[in-house]
Amino acid sequence: MILSIIGFIALIVSCIMQIVFIFMKSNKYDLFSHWLLLFAGIALIADIVYRSVLIEFIALTNMYESLVFFSAVISIVLFTFRLRLKEQSPQIIIFTASVVTVILLAIASSPIVPSDIMPPVPALQSSWLVLHISVTFVGESFFVIGFAAAVYYLLTKDDEKKKKIDSIMYRAIAIGYPIYTAGALIFGSIWAYYAWSRFWGWDPKEIFALVTWLVYTIYLHSRFIKKLRGNVSAMIVIAGFLLTLFTFFGVNYLLSGLHSYK
Amino acid sequence: MKKTLKCRKGGSPLLHSQPQEDFFSTVLGFFTSIKVAVVLLAVMTATYILSSLVPLGLPDSEYFKNYPALLAQIIVFLDFHHFYTSFWFIAPLILFFVNLTACSINRFSRHFTFPGKKRFGPDIIHLGLLCLIVAGGITCSGHSEKRIFLREGDVVTLPGNQSIHLNKFDYLTYDNGRDKDYTAFVTIQNLESSRIEKNQIKVNHPLMLKNVSVYLVNREAIARIVLAEPGGKQYFNYKEDRIPFKDGFLYFGGFLNPDSGNTESYTAHFEYWKDNKFLYSLDKKAGETVDLLTLLETSVVFIPQISIVADPVPIFIIFSFIIIGAGLALTYFQKLRDEK
């Protein structure tokens, strides 16, 4: 828990630093905020490792652990994203994605998400499940960047800037999409086959994972249709991310199914 | 015949024979359109979301009971309560399949007709998706599943002239009472060759046999009693068992006070039936007698629920996944190479 708190604090400090440099309209001198993101990611991963040692299994089997892991992956992806694009990376995109990460961790630390260290029930003791969850979150962390870029795209009026943001949005989704496909749909189906004897059962979680995938598929294909390029594409990406969040939270709390483990 | 390239607005370039500006090429052109693909994907997205909001498979009357009349009428009229066998599920899927097939053929033909960069990644993904839809369809029609609870000593016949015998069921819990692990120890007998093989089944680790797979899917607590004859011979009986008794049978209905916590104090409830007629009931505790039988022990034990599954094409689905995975990887690396 202490490691998560350290990670949370590092993320907040990083956000504060980022916002200062956004107001200064330059990230030339922002040498640390992305390193803080990396540090936060490592601290959060360390928390998962610690919990894994305690339960003698990869600690990715409840909402708290999933949120911490998801936040860790987003932080690390944001760090590499910033490092790769250097000064070209629009600060607002990284800042928005960092804020999403802070919100996810805030939810993890809220009373609605119990943080008790609980060893997994038999159905969750599967390496396919670990692959399914971890790879899905890696894919979804790119969707967070896509979402941040889409929001920025809709708020920007400068055409040159829009072009650049569109390219970032597309790249984020183009990287996240295959990873999400493998994690959520392929590895998820294989786990379902071993656990429940069928690859697909139209469980609410499965339906919404598929719907999320379909929306991002629409986005990738909409780029070939002139009328759908630009604002519509950005709105599709936002819809895709909202569905990602609904698949993660909404289905668990609003729709019951096989993915609810007590 | 001279071949020309025709470009449809919003669609893909289409190779066709010039004089035949006919219905066939219009239909083919329609199905190779990416706009149609996007519309179909959007329709599928919308209908899947709607399907998750309506409880499926209930009798019509339930919808009229739980929803406003108009909404219930719409659900029943559109057959939305049987979504996965309805027009709303099947029609878009078939159209999508046709669209994907047409697009794939069109893209492949372009690769071999026109020079330039060849991107086979998306084609491989499309091919994998087509295989997956076909394999899914076959699985849907040929998949059979039977779930049963097995008690220690039970024998069940399996497809493929085999039988499964439950020898023992191990059930472990964590300190807080949550399930930790359960294992069913079974014997599989081939009824033709009389070959016997001992195996164990765990959750997430099904037993794959010829033509059939056996899964351990759940466990259930069940009331159990031990009855002894005057000679000392003991019998294990479970809830809902019919025990031969006098000229009829004793039906064991479970315990009257299952939440009392102390298994010793459970009161077993029996009903005596003769010639399909209920005659009287008996409530007995451990140590008491039922005519000549002595109730030796009352307890609650866990029994496994197993699922016997015959699936014609799991390997095709795995094969489709491999194709899709390969397509995704190829697309990704081609893009990466292009960017460099």
Domain segments of chain B as ranges: 145-221+305-312, 222-302
d(CA B139, CA B125): 20
DSSP per-residue letters across A19-62: HHHHHTT--TT--SHHHHHHHHHHHHHHHHHHHHHHHTS-S-SS
Whether residues A114 and A129 share a domain: the answer is no
Distance of CA B42 to the CA centre of its chain: 27
d(CA A130, CA A123): 12
pLDDT at B261: 65
Q: Where are the beta strands (DSSP E) in chain B?
A: 3-7, 13-17, 144-149, 155-158, 162-173, 179-190, 196-202, 207-209, 212-228, 234-238, 242-245, 248-255, 268-274, 277-284, 289-290, 293-310
A162 CB-near residues (< 8 Å, 6+ apart): A153, A156, A230
Say whether residue A118 is in contact with chain B using an 8 A CB cutoff.
Answer: yes
Whether residues A168 and A112 share a domain: the answer is no
pLDDT tens digit sequence for A170-221: 999 999 999 999 999 999 999 999 988 889 988 889 999 999 999 999 999 9
Domain end point (choices A120, A142, A165): A120
Return the minimum-mean-pLDDT range out of A230-244, B15-29, B282-296: B15-29
> C-alpha angle A136/A208/A150, rounded to 5°?
70
Mutate to test the interface with B, among A58, A177, A186, A242 (most CBs of B within 10 A): A186
Query: Options 2.30.30, 3.30.450, 3.40.462, 3.30.530; which CATH number does B145-221+305-312 get?
Result: 2.30.30
- Scanning A156-257, the segments in alpha helix (DSSP H) are 159-180, 188-196, 204-222, 231-245, 251-254
Q: Are B314 and A193 an interchain contact pair (Cβ–Cβ within 8 Å)?
A: yes
Per the CB < 8 A criterion, the answer to whether A180 and A140 are in contact is yes
Say whether residue A123 is in contact with chain B using an 8 A CB cutoff.
Answer: yes
Query: Binning pLDDT at 50, 70 and 90, where does residue B15 land?
Result: very low
Q: Are A199 and B35 an interchain contact pair (Cβ–Cβ within 8 Å)?
A: no
> C-alpha angle B336/A80/A183, rounded to 5°?
65
pLDDT at B175: 85
Residue B49 to residues A204, A218, B151, Cα–Cα distance (Å): 9, 15, 41
Return the minimum-mean-pLDDT range out of A141-145, A164-168, B115-119, B270-274: B115-119
pLDDT at A16: 92
Domain end point (choices A76, A105, A120): A120
Q: Which residues pair with B302 in a beta bridge?
A: B221
pLDDT tens digit sequence for B30-70: 888 889 999 999 999 999 999 888 888 888 888 899 889 99
Q: What is the mean pLDDT of residues A137-164?
A: 93
Nearest to B257 by CA among B219, B223, B206: B223
Whether residues A230 and A252 share a domain: the answer is yes
Per the CB < 8 A criterion, the answer to whether A148 and A97 are in contact is yes
pLDDT tens digit sequence for B222-242: 999 999 988 888 888 999 899
pLDDT at A150: 96
Whether residues A99 and A6 share a domain: the answer is yes
Whether residues A92 and A166 share a domain: the answer is no
Q: Please tell me which residue, A115 or A69, carries the higher pLDDT value.
A: A69
Mutate to test the interface with A, among B86, B140, B204, B302 (most CBs of A within 10 A): B204
ipTM tops the 0.85 cut: yes
Q: Are B204 and A214 an interchain contact pair (Cβ–Cβ within 8 Å)?
A: no
Q: What is the mean pLDDT of residues A224-241?
A: 91
pLDDT tens digit sequence for B60-98: 888 899 889 999 999 999 888 899 989 999 999 999 999
> How far is A176 from chain B, CA to nearest CA, in Å?
10
pLDDT at B2: 41
Residue B38 is nearest to which of A118, A126, A221, comparing CB atoms? A221
Q: What is the mean pLDDT of residues A57-83?
A: 93
- Taking one residue from A and the other from B, the number of pairs with CB-CB distance under 8 angstroms is 103
Whether residues A132 and A259 share a domain: the answer is yes
Whether residues A132 and A225 share a domain: the answer is yes
Range(s) of the domain holding residue A105: 1-120
Q: Please tell me which residue, A258 or A30, carries the higher pLDDT value.
A: A30
Q: Are B38 and A208 an interchain contact pair (Cβ–Cβ within 8 Å)?
A: no
**What do you get for the CA distance between the two ends of chain A, in Å?**
21
pLDDT at B176: 82
> How far is A43 from chain B, CA to nearest CA, in Å?
29
Query: Binning pLDDT at 50, 70 and 90, where does residue B112 land?
Result: confident
Question: B239-246: long-range contacts (C-beta < 8 A, 24 or more apart)?
Answer: B242/B273, B243/B293, B245/B272, B245/B290, B245/B291, B245/B293, B246/B272, B246/B274, B246/B291
Say whether residue A52 is in contact with chain B using an 8 A CB cutoff.
Answer: no
pLDDT at residue B5 is higher than 50: no
Q: Are B38 and A193 an interchain contact pair (Cβ–Cβ within 8 Å)?
A: no
Amino acid sitting at position B19:
P
Whether residues A66 and A163 share a domain: the answer is no
Number of domains in chain A: 2
Chain A positions in Cβ-Cβ contact with residue B332 (cut-off 8 Å): 174-175, 178
The size of chain B, in residues, is 340
pLDDT at A95: 92
pLDDT at B195: 83
Whether residues A95 and A140 share a domain: the answer is no
Per the CB < 8 A criterion, the answer to whether B38 and B96 are in contact is no
Whether residues A146 and A229 share a domain: the answer is yes
Q: Please tell me which residue, A46 or A22, carries the higher pLDDT value.
A: A46
Say whether residue B203 is in contact with chain A using an 8 A CB cutoff.
Answer: yes
Whether residues A134 and A231 share a domain: the answer is yes
Q: What is the mean pLDDT of residues B91-106?
A: 92
d(CA A223, CA A227): 9
Chain A positions in Cβ-Cβ contact with residue B324 (cut-off 8 Å): 181, 186
pLDDT tens digit sequence for A108-134: 988 888 888 888 888 889 999 999 999
Q: Please tell me which residue, A231 or B160, carries the higher pLDDT value.
A: A231
Q: Are A195 and B318 an interchain contact pair (Cβ–Cβ within 8 Å)?
A: no
pLDDT at A262: 43
pLDDT at B256: 86
Q: Please tell me which residue, A28 or A90, carries the higher pLDDT value.
A: A90
Residue A202 is nearest to which of B84, B205, B314, comparing CB atoms? B84
Buried b vs exposed e over B291-300: b needs ≥16 C-beta within 10 Å? Answer: eebbbebbee
Q: Please tell me which residue, B8 or B102, carries the higher pLDDT value.
A: B102
Whether residues A138 and A251 share a domain: the answer is yes
Q: What is the mean pLDDT of residues A82-95?
A: 78
Chain A positions in Cβ-Cβ contact with residue B179 (cut-off 8 Å): 121-122
Per the CB < 8 A criterion, the answer to whether A64 and A108 are in contact is yes
Q: Are A190 and B321 an interchain contact pair (Cβ–Cβ within 8 Å)?
A: yes
Q: Are B178 and A119 an interchain contact pair (Cβ–Cβ within 8 Å)?
A: yes
pLDDT at residue A60 is higher than 80: yes
pLDDT at residue B120 is higher than 60: yes
